[in-house]
Structure 1
């Protein structure tokens, strides 16, 4: 018997959040535990210690509802949707989910560092021939490279976000279960993706950036306000990136296979976000076009805030407009797409 059958009446079998309780022996997670407990006090956090598996707990009251022994390590919780705690719990779950993949994280750190070194020496050769290219000096160009490596996985510019999973659920028809939950589909995936992005920033982005700052001459601000503005720009970039990828994922409602759309979005993201070259380097009309596209909010905008090349308030306004526009577009497409939930299923 499944956890849903043993813990809840049949009519409410999908109206809970399933969270797997795992041991995550990360010093990072231990440090963040007080923050996560503050953000979601109604959700028990079993890390870094193990919890006894098989309990279905009503969030906020801790009342055991039944046995879930058939699903080891699973904890089902009824969470109030209106309070917003559900989405905090989903974000925490997204963070913890990626925190379990230690080997993949270490491999990602190594990969980002190696590619960062390759790009740095390429940039140094380019800026040696063209000093002040794009308005950057060499130190700023090197800083830009390591920022790109720190934010590559955080903003899922090269893929690795939620979109592949959502596309698969749409293809199989499992998205019907998601729609049955007392939760908003878009906010659910946004919360999950923000949790993933936070882990990728801390677990995979900090080390390559710190390595670059120690080995090369970089241009980093000393003003904490500038750093705060940079982090806010990164947060806006997370939302904009989610909005783009959510629209890409929703295309699977009309396509049997979303692989082609995902790959096209990946190529556009690499080119138009400034991951290969700063958008300030692009000449003439091409440069003007790419700088007003939403992808420029992912890397170019946060980098310019950190390097003091852009007005933070203007940057936030630009990113905010794109975030609202993309989320609204996602809402409209979702409304049209949910009529096709049987597609592929």
Structure 2
């Protein structure tokens, strides 16, 4: 099996692994749907008072809510996924075995996380979106090409999410307990991705800053692509934004991985 075939197999294995957690998936769909209704009615009240808030009409704002609920699992907006497992392997020293495998550590976990994200998008993401579309008037596009661009934005968002969580996981090489940095990572993801409110709602310089942070690639960018707010060249710009952050963070992860590998060798594995 070639290198590319190996990572495809890892991704497929991860997809199948998460597909076995039927009860957890059903619970996730139910929880996301309930929270979606709570958030949706909050948005209805808010947009009744402030029509056009953040540049969205009410249908677009509600679409943003349900896109967020559909992507919670896929882009790990609430954390979870591989990084806690990786942190545990670092804590126990099993990471030394991983480093001896004939596979790149970062690419192995990236392939695994893409498989996880694909299952979460299908198994946990479609249900809340359908529920939202049945209960509210949403601004969903009729053009299949827009949905394709949305999926591209989601894949880039999953990659950015992976890269951020990979950095958090590798911090376990230097920290005795990774729970603190995991909490900071999750809170940052919730607030700066647009999960609670679209980032365009935040005013002034603060709003400008948060829209340029990497977390925006996880929800704000995919939602705006689906809503058609990035048209023509704008779609390319949205992809470039997410891809640039993915590249920067992955390269930073490789640098931290190299430093961590030297630390393992220096301590004798």
- CA shift, 1:161, in A, is 1.3
- Alignment counterpart, residue 225 of structure 1, candidates 141, 145, 151: 145
Unaligned runs of 5+ in 2: none
Determine whether 1:236 maps to 2:151: no
Counterpart for residue 175 of structure 1 = 95
Counterpart for residue 328 of structure 1 = 251
CA–CA distance in structure 1, aligned partners of residues 252 and 94 of structure 2: 23
Deviation sequence 1:17-63 (CA, Å, 0-9, x none) = xxxxxxxxxxxxxxxxxxxxxxxxxxxxxxxxxxxxxxxxxxxxxxx
Counterpart for residue 213 of structure 2 = 293
Which is higher, the Rg of structure 1 or of structure 2? 1
Counterpart for residue 111 of structure 1 = 31
Counterpart for residue 65 of structure 2 = 145
CA–CA distance in structure 1, aligned partners of residues 136 and 195 of structure 2: 19
Contact conserved, 1:164 with 1:249, CA < 8 A, in 2?
Answer: yes
- Alignment counterpart, residue 198 of structure 2, candidates 262, 278, 285: 278
C-alpha RMSD of the superposition? 1.3
Counterpart for residue 212 of structure 1 = 132
Contact conserved, 1:240 with 1:297, CA < 8 A, in 2?
Answer: yes
* More strand by percentage: 1
Runs of 4 or more consecutive aligned structure 1 residues displaced over 4 Å after TM superposition: none
- CA shift, 1:341, in A, is 2.8
- Alignment counterpart, residue 305 of structure 1, candidates 219, 225, 228: 225
Determine whether 1:80 maps to 2:22: no
* More helix by percentage: 2
Counterpart for residue 22 of structure 2 = 102
CA–CA distance in structure 2, aligned partners of residues 161 and 139 of structure 1: 32
Contact conserved, 1:162 with 1:189, CA < 8 A, in 2?
Answer: yes
CA–CA distance in structure 2, aligned partners of residues 204 and 341 of structure 1: 38
CA–CA distance in structure 1, aligned partners of residues 80 and 121 of structure 2: 13
Greater length-normalized contact order (CA 8 Å, ≥ 6 residues apart): 2
CA–CA distance in structure 1, aligned partners of residues 178 and 124 of structure 2: 27
| TM-score of the aligned structures, taking structure 2 as reference length | 0.96
Unaligned runs of 5+ in 1: 1-78
Q: Secondary structure at the match of 2:211?
A: helix
Aligned ranges for residues 182-197 of structure 1 at < 5 Å? 182-197=102-117
CA–CA distance in structure 1, aligned partners of residues 147 and 25 of structure 2: 25
CA–CA distance in structure 2, aligned partners of residues 80 and 120 of structure 1: 47
Counterpart for residue 135 of structure 1 = 55
Determine whether 1:314 maps to 2:233: no
CA–CA distance in structure 2, aligned partners of residues 264 and 245 of structure 1: 11
Q: Secondary structure at the match of 1:183?
A: coil
